[in-house]
Homo-oligomer: A and B are copies of this chain.
């Protein structure tokens, strides 16, 4: 087995655990920063590590197009290529094909599309998705799935689930690396019956981990939060559970409350690049002129390199002058903020006070200063 998951403790549905991977142990619930093309934008790997991250996500679709998965394999795999010694999860490329690619044609065989980079025609099959991820050498690979938008017609959803199941089995059959775990993806949108059925079929195939796909695809955060407890309950307790592409801090908290173990999202780095910072007292927009003369740190008491060494006035100045250090520092702070939420959550589960902790954070996160 490439990975091993131990649930150490539960607090209601929330789970404290350890995920053992070929590249080290990950404390769960865990947040995975996104390194789309093999770099967490604007953050050095040692800084990703210092933030508390022990697993990151990289995008198969992007890496397959450029620099190419075979090239990455020749160069020693993705860990070595990007200088990241800890665990890596790669998505299957499915989601990106459905959100980025042009002139997409989906059949039972796979999906044909044109690259968003150069328009070249590409065939992605379940077997190919596994092969690419084996070339990249991630610790956790994802099956190729069909990810329909929120609120799509039932027939489209049924077809998406049918193909997702078909492809999951073909991915499982295609996988050859003993040092890579393949996670299945449950689709079904907000229809709990569809989710239950899709999950049951995938559970019967016995994957080492399960993901919930098809969230954060246009539905309201409330309807996602409502659906999550049931969706998580359809998954085996002895396997890790991953909620794909989610989300805001409050969404992570809702996910953890539902028993999710793994999350990924571009928000901390994307917002950081756009001068928007997370704090315990709400979002701070660093371009706002009110920070111009403020000698205080972005967030009082935050132990991150941005908050311990720089003032709001300086951060504001960096964004006003369009200096690289602004996006670098704010991305870093936001990643620390996310990992602080995760660390606190794990502590709260350990201390049997997850719901109190979660409630306090949700109040803080909803009020903007």
Contact = CB atoms under 8 A, between A and B. Distances in A.
B83 A309 contact: yes
Interface string A72-89: 001110000111000000
B293 A325 contact: no
A309 B84 CA distance: 10
Interface stretch (A37-45, A134-142, A220-228, A352-360): A37-45
A81 B314 contact: yes
Contacts of A282: none
A324 interface: yes
Q: Secondary structure at chain A's binding surface: helix, strand, loop or mixed?
A: loop
A45 B39 CA distance: 21
B292 A67 contact: yes
B328 A324 contact: yes
A323 interface: yes
A81 B316 CA distance: 11
A313 B71 contact: yes
A62 B321 CA distance: 10
A311 interface: yes
A66 to B, nearest CB: 6
Contacts of A314: 38, 75, 81-83
A50 to B, nearest CB: 12
B324 A41 contact: yes
Q: Determine the interface band of chain A, counting residues with CB < 8 A from chain B.
A: 35 or more
A67 B317 contact: yes
Contacts of A24: none
Nearest to A45: B309
A83 B318 CA distance: 13
A143 to B, nearest CB: 26
A124 B48 CA distance: 45
A323 B309 CA distance: 25
A81 B317 CA distance: 10
Given A295-B76, A324-B327, A328-B324, A317 B37 contact: yes
Contacts of A71: 292-293, 313
Nearest to A322: B37
A315 to B, nearest CB: 11
A320 interface: yes
A302 to B, nearest CB: 16
Given A37-B317, A66-B317, A71-B313, 15 more contacts: A38-B314, A38-B317, A41-B324, A42-B324, A42-B325, A44-B328, A62-B321, A67-B313, A71-B292, A71-B293, A74-B293, A75-B293, A75-B313, A81-B314, A83-B314
Question: Which 5 interchain pairs have the tightest Cβ spacing?
Answer: A42-B324, A67-B317, A37-B321, A39-B325, A83-B309
Interface of A: 37-39, 41-42, 44-45, 62, 66-67, 71, 74-76, 81-83, 292-293, 295, 309-311, 313-314, 316-318, 320-321, 323-325, 327-328
23 contacts: A37-B321, A37-B323, A39-B318, A39-B323, A39-B325, A41-B323, A44-B325, A44-B328, A62-B321, A66-B320, A66-B321, A67-B292, A67-B317, A71-B313, A75-B295, A75-B314, A81-B311, A81-B314, A83-B309, A83-B310, A324-B324, A324-B328, A328-B328
